[in-house]
Amino acid sequence: MPSSHDWINKPLGVVEAMFAQSNSNPEWEAKVLEYFKGQLKEKESHSWVPSLNDVPLHYLKPNSLVKFRCLVQDMFDPEFYMGVYETVDPSTKANVLRCGKYKDVTECGVDLNSRNTVTAERQTFYCVPIPGESPWAKEISFLSAARVVPSTSYVPSRQKRSYEEDDDDMDTQPQKQREPHTEPHGNGDSKRQETEAPSSQTTTPSDCSSHLDLNFPLPGERGPACLVKVYEGLDSFKLNDTLEIYGILSVNPVLTVLGEEKDPSLLLLNPTESMETPEEQRAHDPPASLVPRLHMLYARPLQHNNPLLPSAPTEDQSAFVSSFLVEMASVRAELLAYLTHVLLGDGLAAEYLLLHLISDVYTRRDVLPLGKFTLNLSGCPLNSYTERLYQIVQQLVPCSYRLSMSLHTMNSMRLVPKKDYVANRLVSGALQLARNTSLFLDETQLEQGQLDSSGVRNITALGNLISWQKVDYDFSYHQMEFPCNINVLVTSEGRSLLPSDCQVPLQPQVTPPNMEEYLTTIHMAQFTSQINKFRVYLSLARTLDYSISDEVTKAVEDDFVDMRKDDPQSVTAEDLHRMLVVARLLSLSLGQTTLSRDGWMRAKHIDMLRRSRTEQQKSLNGNEP
Amino acid sequence: MSSPTSTPGRRKRNRDDIPATPKSTVSPPSQRRRGQDSSNGDLPAMPTSPATDIASPAVHDTSLFSSPKAPSHHLNALREVDMSSPLMYGTPSSRVEGTPRSGVGGTPARQRPDLGSIRKAPQVDLHSEPPSADGAVASEQALGQKLVIWGTDVNVGTCKEKFQRFLQRFIDPTSNEDENAGLDLNEPLYMQKLEEISVVGEPVLNVNCSHVQSFDADLYRQLISYPQEVIPTFDMAVNELFFERFPDSILEHQIQVRPYNALKTRNMRSLNPEDIDQMITISGMVIRTSQLIPEMQEAFFQCQVCAFSTRVEVDRGRIAEPAVCRNCNTTHSLALIHNRSAFSDKQMIKVQESPDDMPAGQTPHTTIVYAHNDLVDKVQPGDRINITGIYRAVPMRENPRQSNVKSVYKTHIDVIHFRKTDEKRLHGLDEDSDQKLFTEERVQILKELASKPDVYDRLSSALAPSIYEHEDIKKGILLQLFGGTRKDFSQTGRGNFRAEVNILLCGDPGTSKSQLLQYVFNLVPRGQYTSGKGSSAVGLTAYVMKDPETKQLVLQTGALVLSDNGICCIDEFDKMSDSTRSVLHEVMEQQTLSIAKAGIICQLNARTSVLAAANPVESQWNPKKTTIENIQLPHTLLSRFDLIFLMLDPQDEAYDRRLAHHLVALYYQSEEQIEEEFLDMAVLKDYIAYARTYINPRLNEEASQALIEAYVDMRKIGSGRGMVSAYPRQLESLIRLAEAHAKVRFSDKVETIDVEEAKRLQREALKQSATDPRTGFVDISILTTGMSATARKRKEEVAQALKKMIQSKGKTPAMKYQQLFDDLRGQSEAAITKDMFEEALRALADEDYLTVTGKTVRLL
């Protein structure tokens, strides 16, 4: 069983053994990486590694191998460390060569003047759990991790309940705060909350003094943030990458002490200490008990964070895909029916919503992102309909965030990440999201009033995000452009003030007297297995390849020319762009990887339907005085 | 390690009773092994000059006690020690003496904390074993032996001599640096600079490392590898030379050599452990500067019992407090007297990688930089600078209460030289400010590309490949990206000639104008993108702001100034307010911006190309109207655009088919296919940067003839129909375009083909924008005066007809307005609109023939 695996429990032992064998031959570093990669390749072996996402920090063994599913939120400056150093035994005066890699702290008695010291370079990434990860994704990945007994003393039996608590958000916070007092030395659950409390902004009394902002992109997020020390392939990582990192956990309390204890007299005389402002200290050296350090041995970029799909691109994934492809059409029909119910019986809107949910920026041609499909659902009923709609979307996609565009939030919220030069870190904003996150913009919340300058900036940022799929991060002296891949869904009463690729006015076929009840019953009627199928379907459809044959290309061209011939004003290049995207998504949603003539006709057809509907809407509005 | 455990005790006044503390090294030993480098012994044997003795340990060995030193890797002499030596140029105390002084001996040396608090390194003999006992070095010291500074291969004497030779002989006839303005290029450059020092009295000599390199590669290598040993030697050399030449000059302190432009590193990202303790040059942007930090250089202690005073040098940030008073032997009686201690200025500066040289998708790195003495407060946040300095790494503080240490080093740079890269923008002459370093291979690739006959077409199709067709527009933008040759006519009183090409795109909405602008904005390093709707005159030009911290007025520059030497993309040009647009008049022809607000009067350079996009007023382009009527922009502004293109939806079948094909291909082609078809954006970027920096084409004879002919032809076309069809402005833009086209070919000569293409492009643009919709002829006056010549003629005709009609009516002093209009309509064959009628009335009123009051028209 996993407990016998030394490479999980004592990875440093493995590293040191290899270092000792190497006789300072630099090849040992590659060997170490090779070894861990090989171990992780073995079937199931990666699931034996406990995950920081699921297991509370204090249940994990220090210096053991752990994994962390995260987003690279910030990249700190590279640092130089002692890769190899020599220690002197005070009693025997013998010099011993030691390896400093994958460690924060050196052994006793370092000989700083040794000529064998090798300085090496590494970089620190500030990583946070994937923002907006849906509760169901967390829960499933947690449960699957619990199947194998992690190499800790932690028994995760009570975890289930606490995740349910997480679902109903702010209301339960006060109660949670009370909990440690009511049952002081209770079970593991309450302990867990004690440690998590500071990260979720509700500080328990003891933490009040050293309040730490863990810099999560979205408000109300929780979970461990992590300082990941990266040794190899620094250029291959980018900001906002989602990664699964395997590394050695380091929670040495020394790290905290070094950061906190300040002898003022020493500070005065030692110039190196005055380099950093207190803010910077706090941002870069937070207590290890809150922000553990992780020394990366292996990292895997994640295409998606859907725990229901095999994450590794291996043979079993392709097997999984081909087995699912058979079902694809039927699942699609069921999902469409489900969405039609949700959208009050509007089949066309449901079709478009489905296409939107599987859209993905699959490539960029110079500045133009291809494949984005921002949907504007206009004519949404008021009174918490949109809120319920979001909850349903959240149930389907692994990552989502609802931004209620009320005047207050637009004026006060930070959407665009901004560099804080005092603390020397990138202060996150709500638009720093992982790829394929569903961003639900609720414009029905917008009321009349004045946007101040930050509100205007926020709206501009949203507009840029939708039209170019990029966010200009604010570096105060200049802006820096970061491409992103976010699915934006705008719900509004009338036409949205934001640009969109496609607007669908909602035409409810049913008007349930009690909206809440109606939607809840629909939601409850679905079995979990059914919902899971939907989840797999949406994630999978996105990953399929797609191509257009020459023959169909020709047909599409002819079609376009014909349409233009009838009425050149009605069909523009932009329309063709959109129809090509619709055709692509439509084919993929059916599990077809090439565009057929039929698919093209269908795309054209539904686009016609949609356009006639918007025009109808326009004329309706035009008649109004 | 054969360490000189017994470094000969140097003269240590006042320090004899200090318990020698075991030292922790300042710098981490990097992989490079200095001790072994020296064994190469590749230096030519030079007779040791007597000057060597100054620093040689033997001379210093006068103290009775020699504190045993722990084996220290960087056992380098602190300069203070030298200063206390009688052979050195001065002592700290001599600084306070106000006596007039001159000559080497009289001028005080100034500490160079930028080189680190280091001692003058002891020299070791290469051929002998390391000394094993005190004074051993002294005995071995003999002429003819090669002495090098410990841990390096630097021989002080040789090095000094070499540098003096460099100063005396180095001539750089091709120099075009602005610092060297006014110097005779055929005389030794640095001797002239020394002369300048003697006149100006600023004791700093900036030395360009590339000069050193071209003069003596070995000296350069030493300078880069062992800056903290070599630079003091340079100082010594330069001072000797200077005071030999100008024995009477009085300087504040001795001359300090400040090397710059070390070619070692250009990018912050490429700094690595190998660069530690070496001299490097990096570029970056200042993001934060600290307050001034007084750093103690020498602590002053006084005995509380007997008032005996003693001085202690600060060693790596620590003061070893004397435990026992030497005079009265009382223990722990010495107290630090702050105001008699010596301090030096220090400032922490944070520098961030400049956004241009960062890989996409990563965050910029920052580096801490320490400025010392007069370099403090030389730079402000926001400045783009090149820093030359020594890269340092310091281990994290050892906590006495803890046995284990954090295994991380803190790194910083000690600045030797700052060079602002954007400073010159205020002065002009900045061709090299964007200078990017191209590798040999890259240049080869670019040249290869340039030699292809179809390079022009290739590049233009590589531009915004996702936008379909509009070949001529892309070609125009391509030429804009290259720009013309900058010419200076200031001597003849005309000032600078505009070299930038301005382009206006107008056309139907949805014809991907914005996309084209976005592309250009992303392509050029100094591009700005603004929208006419959202920008005010202030945002475009510059505004004055009160700095929240200092309460000082600060001039903040707007988009046009920021895109100096770049391209300013202005979308929705038509939606701009008139006052905003008026700012552009000056920028687009004079290329400057004059500001007079809040007590700040200045003229900023704004040598920016403007790429603007405008939508027609009626949302759809009306082909029956002229450009001016369609976009409603003042003709004064329009005439400043070299090329005005219409981007229209052509609405014809063949075009539709090609468009559809293009779009569909966009959606299904794989990455590789795209790569094959089009040039990489990075190559295009480099190509443009290279051409802009290195290629300055001039007109050759035939090309000038061709231009003259072209201009005359254009004038002729007009004169045949009684109107002017070309103005000097057109000729100027023709020249610019031809030069830009020559740049595309990497050619130093503007030839006839360039002129031909310029002519074609201009004609093409005119055909689109300056065609008189009534006659179908190209009429430049539409753009220059806002009205076509036929329209003007027509106006006159109507006025004459009206006059005739009134005259025919006989003696009627007053007429009804409406009646007159109706009459004229009835009489005239052509349809007469109300506008035309009113214009005619106005024309007649101008002639003092009649006046219009309300609804009646009176004859005068």
What is residue B725's predicted lDDT score, i.e. its pLDDT? 58
Q: Is B71's Cβ below 8 Å from some Cβ in A?
A: yes
Residue A564 Cα, gap to closest chain B Cα (Å):
7
Cβ <8 Å between B412 and A275: yes
Contacts of A270 in chain B (CB under 8 A): 317-318, 397
Closest CA to B386 of B359, B424, B358, B348: B424
Which one of A367, A368, A604 would you mutate to disrupt binding with B, by most B Cβ within 10 Å of its Cβ?
A: A367
Residues from chain A that touch B404, judged by Cβ atoms under 8 A, are: 105-108, 110, 254
pLDDT at B516 over 60: yes
Binary contact (A271, B395; C-beta < 8 A): no
Q: Please give the Cα distance from B514 to B570 (Å, whole number).
A: 9
| The pLDDT of residue B288 is above 50 | yes
Q: Is A84 helix (H, G, I), strand (E, B) or coil?
A: strand
Asked if residue B31 has pLDDT above 80, the reply is: no
**Predicted pLDDT of residue B122:** 44
C-alpha span between A397 and A399 (Å, rounded): 6
pLDDT band at B650 (very low <50, low <70, confident <90, very high): low
What residues are paired with A385 via a beta bridge?
Answer: none
pLDDT reported for residue A356 = 92
- Which residues from A are below 8 Å from B394, CB to CB? 272
- Indicate the DSSP class of residue B825: H
CA distance A389 to B542: 47
Q: Compare all CA atoms of chain B with the CA of A367 and give the residue at the minimum distance.
A: B519
- Give the rounded percent of residues in chain A with a pLDDT score beyond 70: 80
B798-806 mean pLDDT = 78
**Is there a contact between B295 and A257 if contact means CB atoms under 8 Å apart?**
no
Residues of chain B with Cβ-Cβ distance to A575 below 8 Å are none
Q: Cβ contact (<8 Å) for B29 and A274?
A: no
**How far is residue B756 from each of residues B666, B729, B750, B763, B773, measured CA to CA in Å?**
33, 18, 11, 10, 27
Residues A510-528, mean pLDDT to the nearest whole number: 77
Out of A119, A271, A426, closest to residue B393 by CB: A119
pLDDT tens-digit map of A522-538: 777 777 888 888 888 88
The two structure tokens encoding residue A91? 């009693």
Residues of B numbered 650-679 whose beta carbons fall under 8 angstroms of chain A's beta carbons: which are they? 651, 653, 656-657, 659-661, 663-668, 671, 674
A343 in Cβ contact with A472 (< 8 Å): no
Residue A273 has pLDDT above 60, yes or no: no
Cβ <8 Å between B29 and A426 = no
Whether B666 and A572 lie within 8 Å, measured CB to CB: no
Answer yes or no: do B317 and A272 touch at CB < 8 A: yes
Asked if B73's CB is within 8 angstroms of A365's CB, the reply is: no
User: What is the predicted ipTM?
Assistant: 0.75
The type of residue at A232 is E
Highest mean pLDDT among A496-510, B5-19, B265-279: A496-510
pLDDT tens digits for A249-267? 888 776 655 444 444 444 4
Would you say B788 and B779 are in contact if contact means Cβ atoms under 8 Å apart? Answer: yes
Residues in B touching A84 (Cβ below 8 Å): none
Classify residue B523 by its DSSP letter.
H
Residue A56 reports pLDDT greater than 70? yes
Digit-coded pLDDT (tens) for B200-253: 877 888 888 888 888 888 888 888 888 888 888 888 888 888 888 887 777 777
Tens of pLDDT along B735-783? 888 888 888 888 888 888 888 888 888 777 777 666 666 666 656 565 5
At B600, phi and psi to the nearest 5? -105, 120
Which of A80, A274, A560 comes nearest B411 by C-beta?
Answer: A80
Asked if B1 is an interface residue toward chain A (Cβ–Cβ < 8 A), one would say yes
The pLDDT value given to residue A49: 83
The pTM (predicted TM-score) of the whole model is: 0.71
When pLDDT is cut at 50, 70 and 90, the band that residue B537 belongs to is low
The residues pairing with B593 across neighbouring beta strands, listed in sequence order, are B604
Alpha carbon of A89: minimum distance to chain B alpha carbons (Å): 12
- What's the average model confidence in pLDDT over B6-26? 39
Q: Do B397 and A121 touch (CB under 8 A)?
A: no
Interface-testing mutation among B276, B366, B667, with chain A (most A C-beta atoms within 10 A)? B667
Residue A167 is predicted with a pLDDT of 41
Contact residues, B window 332-361, toward A, CB-based 8 Å cutoff: 346, 348, 350, 352, 355, 359-361
Confidence grade of residue B180 (pLDDT, cut at 50, 70, 90):
low
Tokens of A525: 């009627």
Touching check for B395 and chain A: CB below 8 Å? yes
Residue of higher predicted confidence among B134 and A236: A236
At A363 the three-state DSSP class reads: strand
| Cα A584 off chain centre by | 25
Q: How far is B419 from chain A (nearest CA, A)?
A: 19
Rounded distance between C-alpha atoms, residue B186 and residue B188, angstroms: 7
Cβ atoms within 10 Å, residue B581: 20
Do A105 and B318 lie within an 8 Å CB cutoff? no
Give the Cβ contact number of residue B645 at 10 Å: 24
Using the predicted structure, report yes or no on whether residue B641 has a pLDDT greater than 50: yes
Chain A residues with beta carbon closer than 8 angstroms to that of B24: 112-113
> Is pLDDT of B29 > 60?
no
Task: State the angle between helix axes of B471-482 and B752-769 in degrees (0 to 180), rounded to the nearest 10.
Answer: 120
What percent of chain B lies above the pLDDT cut of 90?
0
The total of other beta-carbon atoms located within 10 Å of residue B139's CB is 10
> Which residues are registered as beta bridge partners of A547?
A594
How sure is the predictor about B175, in pLDDT bands with cuts at 50, 70 and 90? low
CB contact under 8 A, B664 and A556: yes
Mean pLDDT of chain B: 69
Q: Which of residues 31-50 of B touch A (CB under 8 A)?
A: 31, 33
**Sequence letter at residue B595:** I
Which residue, among B161, B122, B158, B187, has the nearest Cα to B240 in the 3D structure? B161
Closest CA to A433 of A401, A464, A460, A404: A401
Q: Is A119 in Cβ contact with B406 (below 8 Å)? A: no
pLDDT at residue number B178: 52
Per the CB < 8 Å rule, is B404 touching A254?
yes
Q: Is A370 helix (H, G, I), strand (E, B) or coil?
A: strand
Asked whether the beta carbons of residue A477 and residue B359 sit closer than 8 angstroms, the reply is no
3-state secondary structure B537-553: HHHHCEEEEECCCCCCE
Q: The tokens of B31 are what?
A: 């992989």
> DSSP H helical segments within B651-680, as ranges?
653-668, 671-677
Please report the DSSP string for B252-296 in residue order. SS--EEEEE--SS---GGG--GGGTTSEEEEEEEEEEEEEEEEEE
Q: Return the number of other C-beta atoms located less than 10 Å from residue A421's C-beta.
A: 19
Q: Using a CB-CB distance cutoff of 8 angstroms, which residues of chain A are in contact with residue B350?
A: 421, 424
Closest chain A residue by Cα to residue B314: A269
Q: Is B623 on the interface with A (CB under 8 A)?
A: no
Q: What tokens were used for B404?
A: 């284990």
Q: Is B461 part of the contact surface with chain A (CB cutoff 8 Å)?
A: no
Q: Which residue has the higher pLDDT, A149 or B185?
A: B185
What is the C-alpha separation between B530 and B539, in angstroms, rounded? 9
Query: Residue B2: what pLDDT?
Result: 40
- 3-state per-residue secondary structure call for A424-472: CEEECCCCCCCCCEEEEEEHHHCCCCCCCHHHHHHHHHHHHHHHHCEEE
Distance from B444 to chain A by nearest Cα, in Å? 25
For A511-520, what is the mean pLDDT? 77
Contacts of B29 in chain A (CB under 8 A): 113-115, 117, 119
Per-residue pLDDT, A187: 40
CB contact (8 A) between residue A106 and residue B394: no
**Cβ–Cβ gap B395/A426 under 8 Å:** no
Preferred mutation among B31, B293, B363 to probe A, highest tally of A CBs within 10 A: B363
Between A and B, how many residue pairs show a Cβ–Cβ distance under 8 A?
Answer: 216
In this complex, do B405 and A106 lie within 8 Å of one another by their Cβ atoms?
yes
Yes or no, beta carbons of A78 and B368 under 8 Å apart: no
Are B720 and B731 in contact by the 8 Å Cβ rule? The answer is no
Amino acid at A43: K
Residue A150 pLDDT class (50, 70, 90 cuts)? very low
**Is any Cβ of chain A less than 8 angstroms from the Cβ of B382?**
yes
State whether residue B859 is helix, strand or coil: strand
Min Cα–Cα distance to chain B from A597, Å: 14
- Residue B618's φ and ψ, nearest 5 degrees, are -90, 25
The answer to whether the CB atoms of B664 and A81 lie below 8 A apart is no
Average pLDDT on B784-802 reads 69
Kindly report the nearest CA distance between residue B362 and chain A, in angstroms: 5
Distance CA(B750)–CA(B17), nearest Å, equals: 78
Which residues in chain B touch residue A124, judged by CB atoms under 8 angstroms apart? none
- Cβ within 8 Å, pair B464-A548: no
Chain B nearest CA to A93, separation (Å): 16
Note whether A53 and A129 are within 8 A (CB).
yes
In chain B, residues with a C-beta closer than 8 Å to the C-beta of A261 are 399
